[in-house]
Amino acid sequence: MNENSRTELRELIIATREHLAFMEELGVEHAEAIKLPEALPRTVSVAQPSATHVKEQPRAEGLFGDLAPAAPLLPQSSETFEEIRAAVGDCVRCPLHQQRTNIVHTEGNRKARLMFVGEAPGADEDLQARPFVGRAGQLLTKIVEAIGFKREEVLIGNVNRCRPPGNRAPTTEEAEMCKPFLLREIAAVRPDVIVVLGNTAMKNLLDTKEGITKLRGKFQDYKGIKVMPTFHPAYLLRDPSKKRETWEDLKKVRDYLDELNRA
């Protein structure tokens, strides 16, 4: 076995152990750890992605093919989040404003490499004027930490900024009123990866009719930015069996960012 093969095998073993730790954290049971082969060293150091990584123009072959970015399709933007929020204003563009308590804006690191996008605020978010702070948000925080980031190092937002009644999905018309502000934020930040959480967010960002079960786990493209669709944390609370698939999706995101670090 050559050194490259040994390195790949060691990283696979480390990733598997991380997987098991993550699944245990999320409450998945009946998972057994694999044993490290005697022929391999038992101490292996694997670098985690740095949240303060300066964006470069990498050009290297790796697990994800040519890492050189595609031709820039996203327009350059010098807008600040304050300017975008001012443009949102005390929004009354769609009927969702009628029952909201607060407008819930995107929050986090405005130079983030990684962004998470959901569909709309829930009851806790509406009260606190912050995205993903309820039970689903607490689970999202654990997911963020499991791939080597702190919540404050990433960017978190929604397609819609006002809570739909009864936590229903936003209508197409409601999303179309609000989505332009999210797209302006993406243009201002230009993250390396966007993770879209759930069917509604995925369809709105990618303008696709495909369902989340078909596209999850496969990198998509939004104007030159890699997009990873995966299940919404609220769905994972209803169906914990999907946590395993979500972890596989997020590992791909972690590994891609790690590959960019090494390029």
pLDDT digits (tens, 9 = 90+) for 79-136: 999 999 999 999 999 999 999 999 999 999 999 999 999 999 999 999 999 999 999 9
In a domain? residue 55: yes
Rounded to an integer, what distance in angstroms lies between the CA atom of residue 18 and that of residue 147? 9
Q: What is the CATH number of the domain that holds 98?
A: 3.40.470.10
pTM over 0.85: no
Total domains present in the chain = 1
The torsion of the CA quartet 237, 199, 118, 22, rounded to 10 degrees, works out to 40
Domain residue limits at 134: 47-262
In a domain? residue 221: yes
In a domain? residue 37: no
CA distances from 105 to 44, 148, 180 (A): 41, 24, 13
152 Cβ contact partners less than 8 Å away, ≥ 6 residues apart: 108, 109
In a domain? residue 10: no
How are strands ordered across the β-sheet holding 225-230? Answer: 107-108, 155-158, 114-118, 193-197, 225-230, 220-222
Two tokens, residue 241: 């069996």
In a domain? residue 64: yes
- Mean pLDDT is lowest, of 4-8, 141-145, 205-209, for 4-8
Place of tokens 């004027």: 129
In a domain? residue 25: no
In a domain? residue 165: yes
